[in-house]
Amino acid sequence: MSDNQSSPPRTWAEIDLSALRHNLAVARDISGQSVMAVLKAAAYGHDIKKIALALDKENIAFFGVASVIEARRIHSTGSKTRIYLLGPTLADERAEIVAQRWTPSISSIEEAQHFDELNSNTTQPPLPPLPVHITVDTGMGRGGFLPDMLDSALDKISTLKNITIEGIGSHLPSADEDREFTLSQFETFKYFIENCEHHFQYTHLANSAGLLDYTSSVTNLCRPGLMLYGISPIEKYQHLLKPVMTLKSKITLIRELPAGHGVSYGRSVVLEKPTRVATVGAGYGDGYPRSVSPEKAAVIIRGVRCPIIGRVTMDQIMIDVTALPEAEIGDEAELFGQQISVTEVAKNANTISWEILTRITPRVTRVYLNE
Q: Running DSSP on this structure, what letter comes out for residue 127?
A: P
- The verdict on 221 binding ligand PLP (CB under 6 A) reads no
Query: Measuring CA to CA, which residue among 319, 334, 176, 315 is closest to residue 243?
Result: 334
CB 260 within 8 A of CB 314: no
Contacting range for ligand PLP; rule: CB under 6 A; set: 89-97, 154-162, 225-233, 254-262: 225-233
Interatomic CA distance for residues 197 and 80, integer angstroms:
32
User: Please, which of residues 342-361 interact with ligand PLP by CB under 6 A?
Assistant: 354
Which residue type, as a one-letter code, is found at position 144?
G
Shortest spacing between CB 179 and ligand PLP, in angstroms: 16
Of the residues 139, 224, 310, 337, which one makes contact with ligand PLP according to CB under 6 A = 224
Contacting range for ligand PLP; rule: CB under 6 A; set: 73-81, 115-123, 160-168, 221-229: 221-229
Size of the site for ligand PLP (CB under 6 A): 13
- The verdict on 248 binding ligand PLP (CB under 6 A) reads no
Interatomic CA distance for residues 94 and 213, integer angstroms:
35
Burial (0-12, 13-18, 19+ Cβ within 10 Å), 259: exposed
CB-wise, 40 or 46, nearer to ligand PLP? 40
Shortest spacing between CB 224 and ligand PLP, in angstroms: 5
CB 334 within 8 A of CB 248: yes
Of the residues 86, 97, 193, 221, which one makes contact with ligand PLP according to CB under 6 A = 86
DSSP 316-345: -EEEE-TT-TT--TT-EEEEESSSS-HHHH
Shortest spacing between CB 358 and ligand PLP, in angstroms: 10
Residue nearest to ligand PLP (CB): 225
Contacting range for ligand PLP; rule: CB under 6 A; set: 11-19, 220-228, 279-287, 331-339: 220-228
Of the residues 20, 27, 38, 61, which one makes contact with ligand PLP according to CB under 6 A = 38
- The verdict on 73 binding ligand PLP (CB under 6 A) reads no
Query: Measuring CA to CA, which residue among 199, 214, 222, 245 is closest to residue 64?
Result: 222
Q: Running DSSP on this structure, what letter comes out for residue 108?
A: S
**CB neighbour list of residue 123: distance below 8 Å, 6 or more residues apart:** none
- The verdict on 311 binding ligand PLP (CB under 6 A) reads no
Shortest spacing between CB 27 and ligand PLP, in angstroms: 9
CB-wise, 208 or 275, nearer to ligand PLP? 208
Contacting range for ligand PLP; rule: CB under 6 A; set: 68-76, 224-232, 260-268, 314-322: 224-232
Q: Is 40 a catalytic residue?
A: yes
CB-wise, 168 or 226, nearer to ligand PLP? 226
Whether omega before 125 lies within 30 degrees of 0, making that bond cis, reads: yes
CB-wise, 168 or 227, nearer to ligand PLP? 227
- The verdict on 223 binding ligand PLP (CB under 6 A) reads yes
The active-site residue, picked from 57, 156, 191, 265, is 265
- The verdict on 208 binding ligand PLP (CB under 6 A) reads yes
- The verdict on 225 binding ligand PLP (CB under 6 A) reads yes
How far from 54 is each of 50, 70, 82, 370, CA to CA, in Å?
6, 16, 15, 10
Shortest spacing between CB 171 and ligand PLP, in angstroms: 4
CB-wise, 38 or 193, nearer to ligand PLP? 38
No. of helices (H) and no. of strands (E), the chain: 11, 18
User: Please, which of residues 152-191 interact with ligand PLP by CB under 6 A?
Assistant: 171
Q: Where are the alpha helices (DSSP H) in 248-352?
A: 342-348
- The verdict on 106 binding ligand PLP (CB under 6 A) reads no
Which residue type, as a one-letter code, is found at position 29?
D
Beta-bridged to residue 167, according to DSSP, are 133, 202
Q: Which residues does the annotation mark as catalytic? A: 40, 265
For ligand PLP, the binding residues (CB under 6 A) are: 38, 40, 86, 171, 207-208, 223-227, 233, 354
